[in-house]
Chains A and B, each alone.
Chain A
């Protein structure tokens, strides 16, 4: 079974700054990697699929990169609405999540 490990568990960043979130797979998953955003009291929302393709209506400040076992979600200039929990996923496995909080 493939294990997805996200880091850090919590990331504190100031509005307007860049945030970089990491996701590591225990085996090669090629580019079959998705990212989701979840705000308190809401369902998860798809941000990125295929490691780097933005989903419909996702702002350009969100970008995904990586392949194989190492992946990154970058938010270029944090807006207030971006503070949330972010999950990576490969098939039937989710990472444990990274909470992005206001510094």
Chain B
């Protein structure tokens, strides 16, 4: 059974750093891209970026390039999303999701983590 289990909720002060995680199980971790999606309070889904754990190649949305870092550890089957200096506007739920790609160029997220709520407040 494919599962993505994310780390727990965080309350962080502005300016602090943070790294949240997404541990994968039930499939070949190095064979699928994993993405991160932001959902701000009461808002829609925003694609942040993806990483291919097989070679750690990462692609970022222009909106998030330079604002976050996506990484992966093959030994622990875990993907990470990190910030060096959080702002109040980073308050959101962050989801990880496995991306499925087909030769027909179809591409979509087929399995999702449960989400990690990050609250940035002084």
Q: Which residues of A are interface residues toward B (Cβ below 8 A)?
A: 1, 30-32, 34, 36, 38, 43-46, 49-50, 55, 85, 87, 89, 91-97
Known: A87-B44, A97-B44. A44 touches B95 (CB 8 A): yes
Report the bound CA distance from A55 to B102 in whole Å: 14
A43 interface neighbour in B44, B62, B113, Cβ under 8 Å: B113
**Interface residues of B: mostly helix, strand, loop or mixed?**
strand
Nearest Cβ on chain A to B56's Cβ, whole angstroms: 19
Task: Please tell me if the beta carbons of B107 and A32 are within 8 angstroms of each other in the complex.
Answer: yes
The tally of CB-CB contacts under 8 A between chains A and B is: 57
Which residue on chain A has the smallest CB distance to residue B106? Answer: A50
Cross-chain contact B46 with A32 (CB below 8 angstroms)? no
Chain B residues packing against A (C-beta within 8 Å):
37, 44-47, 61-62, 95, 97, 100, 102, 104-110, 112-115
Would B112 and A94 count as touching, CB distance under 8 A? no
Q: Is A30 a contact partner of B45 (Cβ separation < 8 A)?
A: no
B84 to chain A, nearest CB (A): 23
| Interface residue from A50, A55, A91, A94 paired with B104 (Cβ < 8 Å) | A50
Question: CB-nearest residue of chain A relative to B104?
Answer: A50
Nearest-CB residue, chain B, relative to A51: B106
**How far is A93 from B105 in the complex, measured between Cα atoms in Å?**
15
Tell me the complex Cα distance, A96–B61, Å: 16
| Given known contacts A32-B105, A87-B44, A94-B44, A46 and B115 CB-to-CB distance under 8 angstroms | no
